[in-house]
Structure 1
Amino acid sequence: MAGSSSVQPASRPRGRPPSLTEDQIVDAALQIIRTEGLDALSMRRLSQQLGRSQMAAYSYVSDKQQLLDLVARRTLADVEIPGPDDGPWDVQIRLIIDRIDTQLRRHPGIAGVLLQRMLHSDRRLMHALMLIMVDAGLHEKEVLLAYSTIHTYLFGRYQVALSPVPQDDEPNLPPGLTHVMPFLDELHRADYFNFGIDVLLDGLRARVTENRRQQDGQRA
C-alpha cells in the first residue's frame, strides 16, 4: 500500500535518525491541519511536528505542493468507486459524492487542498465520475462542465457559510432578505449539502433525458 511506503533520502549519514514513512509524514501534516488550519501547514511547521530539522524535512518531501498531494491522496484513498450493481448512473455519482464528503468531514481543512490539487492528487475519482457520466449519455463537453460543477460545489462549499443576520442590528434589510432570513436558523449544514447535490443531479438527469430524446429522434 502506497501510504505505508518508506520515504527515504538518497543516503543516510552515520547517526542520522531512522527514515520516515509516508504515513508518518502525512499523519503529521494532517495533525497540523486539524488543530491549526491549512494555512499553518508549512515545511518548517512539518519539521517541528516530526521533531526533525527543516532541511531534513526537505530530504523526505521536496516541497509543500508534494506534501499537499500526499495529504490529498491519503484523504481519498478509502473512497470506494461504486459499480453497476450499486444502482443506475445517478445513484453511483451520489455514492461517490457522499463518500468523498464523509472523508472531508473526517479531515476538516482538507477541502481547500482538494479544491486546488485534485487533478494532481487523485485522478482515480475524477476518471470514475467522468466515465459514469459518459456512459449515462452526457456529451464530452457536458461531462467536463458537470465535473467542474461537482468539484466546485463539493470542495468549495466549505469556504462559504451563511450566518444569521440579527434583524435588530440590520433594520434596513432589503425585502427579499427580510422575508427569508427568519428561516436561516432552521437550516443545517446537511440541508445545504443535500439540496445542492439534489439540484445538481436533477439537472444532469434532465440533460441525459434530453440527449436520449434527440438520439431517438435522429434514429427515427
Structure 2
Amino acid sequence: MPRPRSLTPDHLAAAALAVIDRDGLPGLSMRTVAKELGMSTMGLYRYVADRDELEALVAERVLGAVDPAPPPAGPPWRDRVVVMVARLWAGVSEHPAAVPLTVSHRHRLPGLLRWSESVLGLLAEAGIEGERRVVALRGLIAYIVGAIQLEHLGSLAGAGPSTIAELPHERFPFMTEAARDAPGIDAEREFFGGLAVYLRGLDG
C-alpha cells in the first residue's frame, strides 16, 4: 500500500516560493525545494511530477492571493480597472523573481483567470468589444509584468539612471535628461502614471 501523503500543494508551493524569494528563479529545482522541505529529491516526486508542475503551484500561490472580484458598481469603469490592476500589481510585486512563472503558466492559473474575467467584464461595460477587448486585457497584463520587471530586475542590465546620465549629452539629450529626472519618481507614482496613460488610450 502506498504511504499516505503528508504534504499539501500549498506546502510545496510555499517551499518553492521561499527558494525563489531567497535565491531567485535560477535557484529553483526539485533538489533545492526538497532540501527546503527537509526531504529527499526522490521523495518530492511523490507529490509533483516535475519542475513544471512545481512552477505552476508557485504561480497559483502568488496569483491566488489576489482578490479577483470586481469592485462595486458606481465609480467610472476606469477607476474600477485601476483597483483591479492595483491588486494584481501589489500581489505579484511581493515576489518579483516569480514574475516569469506567472506569465508562462498564465493560461492554467485559476487565480489569474478569475481576475481576467472580472477585468474583461469591466472593459465590456466600457463598450470595449471583440478583438479590442482582447488586446486591452493583454496590454494590461503586459504592462503590469513589464513594470514589475523594470522596477525589480532592471538593475541587472547595469544601465540604471546614473549610468545613463553619464552618456554623451550631445548624442543622447533626451535620455540623459530622463535619467536626471528619474530618481525623483517613486515606483508607485511611475506605475500608476503609466497606467493612466494606457487607460486613456483605450478611449480612442
Match of residue 110 from structure 1: 98
1:1-220 aligned at under 5 Å gives the runs 11-12=2-3, 19-80=6-67, 81-85=69-73, 87-121=75-109, 122-160=112-150, 161=154, 163-166=160-163, 169-171=166-168, 173-204=171-202, 206-207=203-204
**Structure 1: gaps (5+ residues):** 1-9, 208-220
In the alignment, the residues of structure 2 paired with residue 88 and residue 79 of structure 1 have an alpha-carbon distance, to the nearest angstrom, of 22
Following TM superposition, the consecutive aligned residue runs of length 4 or more in structure 1 with deviations greater than 4 angstroms are 166-169
| Structure 2 counterpart of 1:156, one-letter code | G
| Structure 2 counterpart of 1:102, one-letter code | A
| Structure 1 counterpart of 2:138, one-letter code | S
For CA contacts below 8 A with separation 6 or more, give which structure has more relative contact order.
2
CA contact (8 A) 2:165 2:180 kept: no
Q: Matched residue pairs, number?
A: 193
Question: How far 1:145 moved relative to its partner?
Answer: 0.4
**Structure 2: gaps (5+ residues):** none
CA contact (8 A) 1:79 1:96 kept: no
**TM-score, structure 1 as length reference:** 0.78
In the alignment, the residues of structure 1 paired with residue 193 and residue 85 of structure 2 have an alpha-carbon distance, to the nearest angstrom, of 13
Q: Secondary structure at the match of 1:84?
A: coil
Please report the RMSD computed on the Cα atoms of aligned residues, expressed in angstroms. Answer: 2.3
Question: How far 1:135 moved relative to its partner?
Answer: 2.5
For residues 36 and 199 of structure 1, do their structure 2 counterparts lie closer, same or farther at Cα, with a shift above 3 Å needed?
Answer: same
Match of residue 5 from structure 1: none
CA contact (8 A) 2:30 2:50 kept: yes
Question: How far 1:168 moved relative to its partner?
Answer: 8.0
Structure having the higher Rg: 1
